[in-house]
Amino acid sequence: MKRTRQERIRLGLFFVLVCCFFAVAVARLVHLQVFLSSRYSEIVNKQSSGTVPIPALRGIIYDRNGKIVANNVTKYSLYAYPRDAAELSHVATYVERLFDHPRGSARQKYGLAIKRFRWVKRLLDDDLARQIAAEAPPGLLLRKETQREYPYGTIGKQIIGFADIDNCGKAGVEMYFDSVLSGREGYADIRRDGLRNTYRVEEQALVKPEPGRSLVLTVDWNLQEIVEEELRRGVEEHHAKSGMAVFLDCRNGEVLAMAHYDPTERNPHLPVKLRAVSDQFEPGSILKAFTAVGVIEENLIDYDDSIFCEEGKWKVGRRILHDDKEHGWLNFRGVVELSSNIGIAKYAIMLGGEGLFDVLRRFGLGEKTCVGLPGETSGRLVPPSRWSDYNIAALAMGHSVAVNSLQMANGFAVIANGGILYQPSLILGQVDQDGKLFSRWRPQAIRRTVSQTCADTLASILRGVVERGTADVVNSPVVSIAGKTGTAQIPDVANRRYFWNKFMASFAGFYPCEDPVVAGIVVIEEPQPIHYGGLTAGPVFKRVAERYSILHPDVFTSPHRTLSETSTRFENTSEIPDLVGRGLAQARALAAEHDLSILCDAEEGTVAWQFPPANRLTFRGDKILVSVTTESADDVTMMDLRGLSIREASAFLERAGINFMFRGNGQVVRQSIKPGETVSRGTQCRLDCRPGTGGKYKAQRADKTDKTVKVDRQS
């Protein structure tokens, strides 16, 4: 059949179009396969393959003594990966029976699907994991994972914090140092089909995970447990709302224990914050210790003089300042020991508002300590636009200022260590995979806050607070404690006044006062019905100090020696005998039996006082200071104090009732009252001190008295 011309044209055009189509298609294929092959190969790989993370082993956390307080344990987790409809059905049925789910609910509950990875239950109990391994159908598999374990339960949990199911830190040290503890993840390969279904999981790591580094904390878990137990006991005994406590090594700023206790806290296993650093409060009278520093440093007191405390009521501007008791004339020591608001206010007004504000800033108030815990508050220390006498008085006795517990504990550590403000720290160092300690933390001295002489003088006054002042119930036969009480009304912010029946009771101090090792604070919120700090927070502090001192007798009885020396204390130490009530000749003989000697203020008589107290350990060859009774109760025989430390000399002078003041620091080299001179109680004695001269003057005194020279200790 012969085609017409029009038909031939149409067929030709169609043929040309078909050829052009295939030519374009071939050209496009060549372009894709040759010129764009690398680009699209990369896209295909991304769509059809991928990686899944392999978690790194989290670093371990140790306390300062090497106890593991946060560890990793291996657990098994259950996941489903059915490859066909039959496996999917068997998996769903088994899961419903295993976990007692309603029939037909497993697929929707866990999102089960063919060739889809789905978690069923993570971190199984060991018994359940063994049961599943023995009887699970195909498509239901177990995978090893690590879980964070805390061997001591809730002890120290507020400091450590916790890590979630994916081992991510969510509170405390676990959160703050998460980047150090977590390490680096590894990766494993996976493959997917065109429908994005995962059809192969490679368990072999392409990139191996890098374990996290371990941390060594400064916290002593023995003390931490003691603090938490005693804090709980104190809050419950006094029907309080809550309590907080912080204890530091005053020699370097290392945190030894921190805790809070709230009876209404629903889940103590998952604390969100540590109130000792996150909550702020008005400190009340414990701040008077810092006010006293400014007064002493500026030489505003004469220990011979007294100040009138207005019999408990004093008008300052348009307001009236009250004392808890009606005090008349008090010297500076009495003002602090009896916690007179009026007395300290008058001294603070002499110091001036700017001077007082500067002292508090030097102690670090109003600034974060940067201890290494999330949520820390800086407190509040803002100078008023104009310093009135009442502004100064309020600040001097701990009002119009907000602090956290750690700031106050660190401030009292300054007084205890001789005037140095240290950076508080929670970390001693890091431990690598080989168990070697590196990146060791070194004590960071921020600044000298007060002079050595001022710190030692105030320390002796704070010891008087415990011996005969507002904290006499804190006085302990086990360990010598120095400190200050506080009883502050809680502000009613809504009504811009103070609650008349709500108080923050506190006690801050350090021990042993002869050579302090630990400084700390205990705060009890709203104790009932007794609200005084000396009767509520003070006993908690005392029990903590006693129990910790008994646990570490080598440290607290011989604090000058190194750890290696104190480890052999049974060979070169002796227990101090009880000399009180014995004749001087008998006391000398008894001391000699213990390889000790006596430094006395008379040649005969009955021993009425000794320092250090009985039943404490000291090094053989040391001296015991004793005082004997005299004919007149108002007369005192002055002892030869040359060569003694400020703390030793002040112990005798306080007992003798002699007012005193120091010049310089170190050992006593000169005293205004000559040795052997009889003086009346209340007499003023001035002591000149110099560093590094103890051995020389001790030798001179030994030549005069023909007594055994006291062994010099390493400072």
- Residue found by looking up tokens 């949990």 in the block: 157
Task: Give the model confidence (pLDDT) of 612-645 as tens digits.
Answer: 777 766 777 778 888 877 555 567 778 888 888 7
Q: Among 146, 88, 149, which residue's Cα sits nearest to residue 120?
A: 88
Whose tokens are 């009880």? That residue is 578
**17 lies in a domain?**
no
3-state helix, strand, coil in the chain (%, to 5): 35, 25, 35
Average pLDDT of span 15-31: 86
Asked if the model's pLDDT at residue 230 lies above 90, the reply is yes
| DSSP code, position 449 | -
- The pLDDT of residue 206 is 65
The answer as to whether 39 is a domain residue is no
- Rg over alpha carbons for the chain, rounded to the nearest Å, is 37
Cα–Cα distance for residue pair 110/96, rounded to 1 Å: 11
| Same domain, residue pair 199 and 319 | no
Total number of domains constituting the chain: 3
3-state secondary structure of 141: strand
Tokens of 674: 């000559």
Question: Are 78 and 199 in the same domain?
Answer: yes
Average pLDDT over residues 207-233: 90
When mean pLDDT is compared over 2-16, 52-66, 228-242, 453-467, the highest value belongs to 228-242
Quick check: is 585 in a domain?
Answer: yes
Same domain, 205 and 235: no
Separation between Cα atoms, residue 387 and residue 393, nearest integer Å = 10
pLDDT interval class at 709 (50, 70, 90): very low
Copy the structure tokens of residue 221.
Answer: 């878990």
Q: Tell me the average pLDDT across 673-692.
A: 80
Same domain, 524 and 609: no
- Dihedral in degrees, nearest 10, Cα atoms 654, 657, 659, 664: -30
Residues 6+ apart with CB under 8 A from 267: none
Q: Is the pLDDT of residue 700 over 60?
A: no
Note whether residue 14 is domain-resident.
no
Tokens 């009885």 identify what position? Answer: 557
Q: What is the pLDDT of residue 714?
A: 30
Do both 295 and 400 map to the same domain? yes
Q: Note the helical H segments in 623-678.
A: 646-656
Q: Are residues 194 and 228 in the same domain?
A: no
Query: Are residues 122 and 257 both part of a single domain?
Result: no
Mean pLDDT over the full length of the chain:
82
Which helix or strand (DSSP H or E) is residue 38 part of? helix 37-48
Any domain includes 556: no
pLDDT at 697: 35
Residue that terminates a domain, selected from 195, 215, 235: 215
**Predicted confidence (pLDDT) at residue 421 exceeds the cutoff of 90:** yes
Mean pLDDT confidence for 382-392: 87
Peptide bond before residue 383 is cis, with ω within 30 degrees of 0: no
Nearest to 517 by CA among 480, 543, 547, 486: 480
Domain presence at residue 153: no
Q: Which of 105-109, 169-173, 692-696 has the lowest mean pLDDT?
A: 692-696
Answer yes or no: is 568 within a domain.
no
Would strands 518-525 and 445-448 be described as parallel, antiparallel, or unpaired? Answer: unpaired
- The answer to whether residue 418 scores a pLDDT higher than 80 is yes
- Tell whether the model's pLDDT for residue 82 goes beyond 80: yes
Selected residue with higher pLDDT from 665 and 389: 389
Angle at 398 between CA 282 and CA 382, to 5 degrees: 75
Same domain, 189 and 231: no
| CB neighbour burial string for 667-697, b if at least 16 within 10 angstroms, e if fewer | bbbebebeeeeebeeebebebebbeeebeeb
Say which residue, 12 or 268, is predicted with more confidence: 12
Three-state SS string over 370-435 comes to: CCCCCCCCCCECCCCCCCCHHHHHHHHCCCCCEECHHHHHHHHHHHHHCCEEECCECEEEEECCCC
pLDDT (tens digit per residue) in 340-373? 999 999 999 999 999 999 999 999 999 999 888 8
Whether 707 has a pLDDT exceeding 50, the answer reads no
Q: CATH code at 235?
A: 3.40.710.10
Q: What is the CATH number of the domain that holds 92?
A: 3.90.1310.10
230 plus 207 within the same structural domain:
no
Q: What domain range includes position 312?
A: 221-551
Give the position of tokens 């104090």: 641
Which string of b and e fits 382-399 if b means at least 16 CB within 10 Å?
ebeeebebbbbbbbbbbb
The SS3 of residue 501 is strand
How many CB atoms are closer than 10 A to CB 166?
A: 9
In the chain, % of residues over pLDDT 90: 31
Give me the pLDDT at residue 613, please. Answer: 74
pLDDT recorded at residue 664? 65
362: enclosing H helix or E strand: helix 353-362
User: Treating both helix axes as pointing N-terminal to C-terminal, what angle do 288-297 and 341-351 enclose, rounded to 10 degrees?
Assistant: 40
Statement: residue 648 has pLDDT above 80 = no
Tokens, residue 380: 């509040």
| Average pLDDT value for residue range 204-232 | 87
Q: Are 209 and 245 members of one domain?
A: no
In this predicted model, what pLDDT tens digit does every residue of 166-192 receive, in sequence order?
788 888 899 889 888 888 877 766 665
Which whole number is the average pLDDT over 280-290?
A: 94
Is the pLDDT at 518 greater than 90? The verdict is yes
Can you name the residues that pair with 599 across neighbouring β-strands? 625
Residue at 160 is within a domain: no
Assign 698 a pLDDT band (cuts: 50, 70, 90).
Answer: very low
CA gap 272, 157 in Å, rounded: 10
pLDDT-derived band at 485 (thresholds 50, 70, 90) equals very high
How confident is the model at residue 462, as a pLDDT? 93
Q: What pLDDT, on the 0 to 100 scale, is given for residue 509?
A: 95
Name which of 279-293, 476-490, 576-590 the model is least confident about.
576-590
Strands across the sheet containing 597-600: 597-600, 623-628, 607-611
Burial 72-106 (b: 16+ CB within 10 A, else e): beebbbbbbbbeeeebbebbbebbbebeeeeeeeb
Q: Do β-strands 254-261 and 242-249 pair in parallel, antiparallel, or remain unpaired?
A: antiparallel
C-alpha span between 302 and 659 (Å, rounded): 10
Query: What are the structure tokens assigned to 168, written together?
Result: 């991510």
- Token digits for 454? 């001022």
In this structure, the answer to whether residues 193 and 248 fall within a common structural domain is no
Query: What is the model's pLDDT at position 710?
Result: 30
For residue 162, is it left (φ>0), alpha (ψ between -120 and 50) or beta? Answer: beta
Tell me, letter by letter, the H, E, C secondary structure of 245-300: EEEEECCCCEEEEEEEECCCCCCCCCCCCCHHHHCCECCHHHHHHHHHHHHHHCCC
CATH number reported for the structural domain that contains residue 602 in this entry: 3.30.10.20
pLDDT band for 165, please (50, 70, 90 cuts). Answer: confident
Quick one: 334 and 408 in the same domain? yes
Predicted TM-score of the model (pTM): 0.73
